[in-house]
């Protein structure tokens, strides 16, 4: 009888363990994002207009930045000789206007430097016509290209972005992972990202 009752308990125990694991994974995902917003280095980025056909899909605004185009003359170190999925580490420094710009990039690592922040790109397809020779520009993303807004509130942000009156404040973790912290519309904060 006790063997039979242990079989009945096993599925319940398995369900509890599965639920606990799922909760732990979700908690980790939320906390890793919140940790960046709580402890990351602050940077401020200018946004660029985006093709009007893709301005707003549902409840998010598409954002583009000058730091998303990396000129080959700021790329240092060894260039991959094989085409494939690559990441760049990009050094950002603040300008006199308070906006951060890309000053150096590498397919390898960059040493920390006072007054700068290292930002890690998302993986991107790198193709070279001649092995190891970069094209004039590399187009990268950082995971900062979408911002979700309440339904119906994206139009004002789209118009401001297209008029180059929208800026993004982001926070960057020590490993180079960024998170949007707030949007700034015509010099005034309009959306603050909550920690949770």
Whole-number pLDDT of residue 60 = 78
Contact 36, 173 (CB under 8 A): yes
The answer on pLDDT for 53 being more than 50 is no
Q: Share the mean pLDDT of the chain.
A: 85
Q: In Å, what is the CA distance from 82 to each residue of 16, 78, 130, 135, 139?
A: 47, 12, 10, 14, 18
pTM across the whole model = 0.74
pLDDT digits (tens, 9 = 90+) for 103-126: 999 999 999 999 999 999 999 887
pLDDT digits (tens, 9 = 90+) for 136-157: 999 999 999 988 887 777 788 8
User: What is the pLDDT averaged over residues 46-70?
Assistant: 73
Whole-number pLDDT of residue 9 = 63
32 vs 94: CA distance, rounded Å = 26
User: What is the pLDDT averaged over residues 80-94?
Assistant: 88
Contact 74, 103 (CB under 8 A): yes
Number of H helices, E strands in the chain: 2, 15
Pairwise pLDDT comparison (66 vs 35), residue with the higher score: 66
List of residues 6+ apart from 193 with CB closer than 8 A:
37, 179, 180, 181, 182
Q: Residue 63, class by beta-carbon neighbours within 10 Å (0-12 exposed, 13-18 middle, 19+ buried)? A: buried
Phi, psi of 159 (to 5 degrees): -65, -45
């Amino acid at each position: 009888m006790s063997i039979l009752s242990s079989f009945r308990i096993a599925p319940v125990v398995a369900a509890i363990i599965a639920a606990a694991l799922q909760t732990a994974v979700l908690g980790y995902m939320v906390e890793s994002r919140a940790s960046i917003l709580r402890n990351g280095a602050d940077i401020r980025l200018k946004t660029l207009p985006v093709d009007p056909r893709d301005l707003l899909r549902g409840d998010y605004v598409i954002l583009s930045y000058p730091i998303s185009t990396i000129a080959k003359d700021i790329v240092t170190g060894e260039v991959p000789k094989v085409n494939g999925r690559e990441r760049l580490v990009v050094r950002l420094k603040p300008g006199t206007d308070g906006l951060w710009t890309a000053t150096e990039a590498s397919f390898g690592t960059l040493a920390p430097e006072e007054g700068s922040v290292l930002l890690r790109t998302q993986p991107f397809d790198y193709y070279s016509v001649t092995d190891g020779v970069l094209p004039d520009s590399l187009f990268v993303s950082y995971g900062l290209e979408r911002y979700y807004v309440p339904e119906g509130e994206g139009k004002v942000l789209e118009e401001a972005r297209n008029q180059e009156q929208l800026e993004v404040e982001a926070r960057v973790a020590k490993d180079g992972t960024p998170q949007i912290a707030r949007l700034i519309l015509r010099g005034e904060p309009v959306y603050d990202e909550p920690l949770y």
